[in-house]
Amino acid sequence: MRKAEISRKTAETDISAEINIDGTGEYDISTGAGFLDHMIDQLSRHSLIDMKVRARGDHHIDAHHTTEDTGIVLGQAVAKALGDRKGITRYASIDLAMDETLTRATVDVSGRPYLVWDVRFSAPKVGDFDTELFREFFQAFSQHAGITLHVTNHYGDNNHHIAETCFKAVARVLRAAMEIDPRQADRIPSTKGSL
């Protein structure tokens, strides 16, 4: 089983995560930021990665440090659970619809971290959560998971829907790209022989 546990404590946050890539999408998320919890719930459920996250942070300032550091810890957990990435499918892409909104996510689980974020929000907040923090989460996650991730919102009017399609689309491409390919289960999916 591809599982990992990571803890990270700083002067700003105290975060722990347990994941199982080969899970069923069970989640138990508590970050102190309700909308972030809701989005990570979606990430877990639609990727089928079991996730337990506990985060305490300096919310008296804002949710920035907690959001970014949760992305770091989840990314580190994914990288650890993947190990040498032997046998994975590696690439995936999806266009995901939710009502009036359409968002694309594309991933290369390459060991080379990079984020392209082409998503615009029409308001600075969804509920009491800053919309600019969604990029911060995925930047931290992609850097520490060692993945190349492109997220593009084609269109949408509702900011909640735009955010949710980003998380659900990323979940679905992670699920597909990290699945074991039975035709190359014992090989690294690269001509270099390592990722």
Instruction: Give 171-189 pLDDT, tens digit per residue.
Output: 999 999 999 999 999 999 9
Structural domain for 58, as ranges: 3-184
Does a structural domain hold residue 124? yes
Is residue 191 domain-resident?
A: no
How do residues 159-174 score in pLDDT, each as one tens digit?
999 999 999 999 999 9
**pLDDT band for position 16 (50/70/90)?**
very high
Q: Encoding tokens for residue 155? A: 């269109």
In this predicted model, what pLDDT tens digit does every residue of 31-44 receive, in sequence order? 999 999 999 999 99
Q: What is the mean pLDDT of the chain?
A: 97
Q: Any idea which residue has 């390592």 for tokens?
A: 194
- Asked whether residue 17 is domain-assigned, the answer is yes
Give the residues across from 96 on adjacent strands: 103
Is residue 69 situated within a structural domain? yes
3-state secondary structure labels for all residues of 81-112: HHCCCCCECCEEEEEEEECCEEEEEEEECCCC
The radius of gyration of the chain's CA atoms, rounded to the nearest angstrom, is 16
Rounded CA separation 44/18 (Å): 12
* 99 falls within a domain: yes
Q: Is residue 190 part of a domain?
A: no
23 domain-assigned: yes
Per-residue pLDDT tens over the stretch 130-159: 999 999 999 999 999 999 999 999 999 999
What is the share, in percent, of the chain residues with pLDDT greater than 90? 97
Inside any domain, residue 60 = yes
CATH of the domain at 52: 3.30.230.40
Counted domains in the chain: 1
What pLDDT, on the 0 to 100 scale, is given for residue 95? 98
What percent of the chain stands above pLDDT 70? 100
Considering only CA atoms, which of 67, 55, 79 is closest in space to residue 137? 67
Place of tokens 């803890």: 7
pTM of the model: 0.97
